[in-house]
Amino acid sequence: MLLQHSRIEGIEALELKLRNLGKRYSSVAALDDVDLDIASGELVALLGPSGSGKTTLLRVVAGLLHPDRGQVLFGDIDATRLSLRERNVGFVFQHYALFKQMSVAENIAFGLRSRPRGKRPDKATIQRRVEELLTLVQLPEHGARYPEQLSGGQKQRVALARALAIDPSVLLLDEPFGALDAKVRVELRRWLRRLHEQTGQTTLFVTHDQEEALELADRVVVMRTGRIEQVGTPDAIYRAPASAYVFDFIGRANCLEGHVADGHFIANGQAMRLSNGNAQVSSGGARLYVRPHDLAVAAASEGWPARVIATHRLADRLTLELQVEGHAKPLELDLPASPDVEIPAPGSVIGVMPLRYRIYQA
């Protein structure tokens, strides 16, 4: 049973629903009751460290792996036991996987030419489709070239065109920019975002690059040891982390150990009244998390006394490395690298105050 293709040619993209997916490797749970709904036409990032289950989840959706339990639904169709071919997914790998002996045009046409005779388009239709996709991925003059004649970014665009050629039900990307240098990665992910807006393709992609996920995706799924830790828009994931793990994993974070009592967070004998957003935290052991740019310099008698260990300059940012008594791990505080900003000297003691922060139970 072949699924209907999506809306690159005007057909509605499919909704993807994952229900109670489980997958074990020996005693390790690679997926542990994963539930996720992806709307038709949505671009969703699976983000997490190695071993979090994101690639396993992508391969289960593709049909490259079968789950031990649970369902994969493409629209209203239960695709759990269908093969990759039957699911009609487009899959793009980190290392392109282009056929070296084939031209760019032949690579893009491969999926169409490999269809059973009764479902295979005629030569003229395939040629028109290839030309359309070469234009879509901004390589209209490259059809006769071979992969070895292309840059890394161009190869990945060809790989995307090949995946789109079959009008896939869902587009799956596994670390698609991982083999590219930093500048090309930024250019290509912005290009992919524009391409997604043109095609409306339901897309699920795996990345360990936080910046990539936050810039590119409609929603981000943060994974941890086979489970989903949080699902939300990039802004919600960054500004309202659901757990200490998400706060620490996304972006740069400082952590202060202490406890909550009588509406205050207390660390090293210094008490700070909780902000409204943290007022619901119960009394007891707690951790305060704050971004380096949300720490402010205060007088040494205010806030938490901190000794300046070192200063680090990066472009328009200056980072102070600070040691707070009783905390093994130094804090980082960001300042604008401006001539008007007074930079505390290494060895001096300043006060630090968090402007925006979140507190989680220890």
Spell out the SS3 assignment of the chain: CCCCCCHHHCCCCCCEEEEEEEEEECCEEEEEEEEEEECCCCEEEEECCCCCCHHHHHHHHHCCCCCCEEEEEECCEECCCCCHHHHCCEEECCCCCCCCCCCHHHHHHHHHHCCCHHHCCCHHHHHHHHHHHHHHCCCCCCCCCCHHHCCHHHHHHHHHHHHHHCCCCCEEEECCCCCCCHHHHHHHHHHHHHHHHHHCCCEEEEECCHHHHHHHCCEEEEEECCEEEEEECHHHHHHCCCCHHHHHHCCCCEEEEEEEECCEEEECCEEEECCHHHCCCCCEEEEEEECHHHEEEECCCCCEEEEEEEEEEECCEEEEEEEECCCCCCEEEEEECCCCCCCCCCCCEEEEEECCCEEEEC
Q: What is the pLDDT of residue 176?
A: 86
Which CATH superfamily hosts domain 7-239?
A: P-loop containing nucleotide triphosphate hydrolases (3.40.50.300)
Q: What is the pLDDT of residue 6?
A: 36
Q: Is the pTM of this model over 0.95?
A: no
Q: Which residues of the chain have pLDDT under 50?
A: 1-12
Tens digit of pLDDT for each residue in 236-273?
Answer: 999 999 999 999 999 899 999 999 999 999 998 888 88
Q: What is the pLDDT of residue 303?
A: 83
Record the tokens describing residue 304, joined without a space: 């938490």
Please say whether the dihedral angle defined by the alpha carbons of residues 206, 211, 216 and 217, taken in this order, is positive or negative.
positive
Q: Where are the domains of the chain?
A: 7-239, 252-361
CA 33 – CA 22 distance, rounded (Å):
5
Q: What is the pLDDT of residue 315?
A: 75
Q: Is 228 exposed, middle or buried (0-12, 13-18, 19+ CB in 10 A)?
A: buried
Closest residue by Cα to residue 160 from 127, 186, 183, 138? 138
Tens digit of pLDDT for each residue in 82-116?
Answer: 988 889 999 998 777 899 999 999 999 998 998 88
Q: Is 252-361 a domain of CATH 3.40.50.300?
A: no
